[in-house]
Amino acid sequence: MVTLNRLSVEDPDDGGPLLPVVAETTTPTPVSHRQRIVINTESRDFFLTRKENLSISLILLIGCYLVILIPAHIPLKKAANVSYDYLHSKDLVLLNRSAALLAHPCEPRWSPSHMKPLSHFEGLLDIPVFLQDRPLVWNLTPPLGLQGSEEHLSVALALMPQPGLPSSLTNANSCRRCVVVGNGGILHGSHLGSHIDQYDVIIRLNNAAVHGFERDAGSHTTIRLMYPEGAPHSPNEYKKTAMVALVVFKSLDLDWLTSVITKQPLSFWSKMWFWREVVEDIPLKPENFRILHPEIIHKTEQVLQKYILKQKNMVPTLGASAVVMALQLCDQVSLAGFGYDMQHPEARLHYYETIRMDSMKAQVVHDISAEKLFLRDLVSSGAVTDLTGAL
């Protein structure tokens, strides 16, 4: 047999090839068994082991979680100081509306009378505000009741000279106006401080700062509603404060209150059960402390259940509970600093710090959407007034 290793046909005129040159045929070299083993081994080395896959998956999961949370805590760019003359027109409208409201005399029973026609608000009136003595039976555990905390409660109440409502809030002949100052970033730059200070009862929540934010938030406090982990650490925040009211979420909260009143520190073991460091000293007298009646939390939770499609366990925020408390104390109720705007994740969450709205996505205890609908209904019914216009 004859094998043609090179075949070409040359053009007789210029000697160039008319057909392409055929490359020399090469015989494939057989792959040995050992070479196949090496190839298979290299293929296996390309894939990760199960342990390595698990480790990388965990790293990616944590990384994704941090990508969501960390940006929410990146400080916002500080806005330039804006004088009163250059406030946004919307802010001027809100200020004028607030001033007009304060210019009119207080109207007795205004808020309760506007709530009665609405059936889903039934049960939100005539609720006891502060605990005065220990009921015989508690059917629910904290924060909706005090079942299992009876002994802790007895010790705390025994230390309070005036556990109930003060005389300034029990005079039936006086008409009182309340303002519940929320912690929302909408209050930042509002210039409502001087208006807030004109109310008869000013209610604040947890560690909401007053010192340094008087222009927007006011300077006086009638009631600061809080739990131990949310109590302000700075003594400045308790100046011009008439009362601190404890919201009980666990039995240990009552032990903390006892410790604060008696100036006797908690044991190291007790401190370990709080989810963050708690303040050990509050510069107020024993008669300035109260315990919020759990029925306020319970009734608020029951009404909020009507605003969700499927019933679930939930705890009202201190803001919503404070509004219900205000409805028991005052004839007219106003709100300032309420309304989380989840459509703007870059917005300021609180007026006194630069944490962004994004951080609310991480919480699972409260139903912010249901509370916003609840507060909107109170505003639309005329029972309460929204001074900052975010509801």
**3-class secondary structure per residue, 62-78:** HHHHHHHHHHHHCCCCC
CA distance 130 to 176: 18
Tokens for 171, please give them: 């005079």
Structure confidence at residue 25 as a pLDDT band (50, 70, 90): very low
Distance CA 355, CA 361 (A): 12
335 pLDDT exceeds 80? yes
C-alpha 289/C-alpha 242 separation (Å) is 9
Q: Which range in 21-25, 170-174, 299-303 is most confidently predicted, on average pLDDT?
A: 299-303
pLDDT for res 289: 97
Q: Is the pLDDT of residue 39 over 90?
A: no
Q: Is the pLDDT of residue 302 over 90?
A: yes
Could you tell me the domains of the chain? 88-129+175-248+290-386 (3.90.1480.20)
> DSSP 3-state assignment of 201?
strand
The pLDDT value given to residue 201: 97
Confidence of residue 170 (pLDDT cuts 50, 70, 90): confident
Instruction: Quickly list DSSP for 17-75.
Output: BSSPPPPPP-PPPPPPHHHHHHHHHHHHHHSPPHHHHHHHHHHHHHHHHHHHHGGGGSP
**Given pLDDT bands bounded at 50, 70 and 90, which one contains residue 44?**
very low
Q: pLDDT of 97-127, one tens digit each?
A: 999 999 999 999 999 999 988 888 988 999 9
pLDDT beyond 70 at 83: no
Residues 249 and 143 sit within 8 Å (Cβ to Cβ) = yes
Higher model confidence: residue 202 or residue 18?
A: 202
The stretches of 78-149 forming alpha helices (DSSP H) are 89-103, 110-115
* pLDDT value at residue 157: 96
Residue 240 backbone class (left: φ over 0; alpha: ψ -120 to 50; beta: rest): left
Determine contact, residues 187/216, Cβ cutoff 8 Å.
yes
Greater model confidence, 7 or 225: 225
AA identity, residue 129:
V
Between 101 and 77, residue with greater pLDDT: 101
